[in-house]
């Protein structure tokens, strides 16, 4: 269900049909009685939290171009640090 943010910053959950049936007076009434909730996370149920991609490594890829620095290519795929 979609969220609707009132002018006082509070958020309510409404279906599209409920929103279309509301008048301006209904919205003003909800604001006057301080109706709704304050959302801590503005991205609740958003595509940002649901659409996560894995990082893909293609280990079979080999650069054919002589201008490509092979160390830069391997930095992303291998841990070449001397932290022991």
- Read off the pLDDT of residues 30-50 as tens digits, 9 standing for 90 and up: 999 999 988 887 777 776 666
The C-alpha atoms of residue 41 and residue 13 are separated, in whole angstroms, by: 15
What's the pTM?
Answer: 0.48
Residue 11 near residue 39 (C-beta atoms within 8 A)? yes
Look at residue 40 in the predicted model and tell me its pLDDT: 83
Beta bridge partners of 3: 13
Residue 66 near residue 73 (C-beta atoms within 8 A)? no
The C-alpha atoms of residue 12 and residue 30 are separated, in whole angstroms, by: 10
Kind of pairing between the strands at 3-5 and 11-13: antiparallel
Look at residue 29 in the predicted model and tell me its pLDDT: 94
Q: Where are the domains of the chain?
A: 3-48
């Amino acid at each position: 269900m979609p969220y609707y943010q009132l002018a006082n910053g509070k958020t309510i959950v409404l279906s599209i049909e409920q929103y279309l049936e509301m008048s301006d007076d209904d919205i003003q009434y909800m604001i006057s009685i301080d109706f709704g909730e304050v959302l801590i996370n503005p991205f609740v149920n958003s595509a940002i939290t649901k659409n996560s991609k894995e990082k893909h490594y293609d280990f079979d890829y080999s650069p054919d171009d002589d201008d490509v620095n092979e160390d830069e290519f391997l930095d992303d795929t291998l841990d070449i640090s001397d932290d022991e």
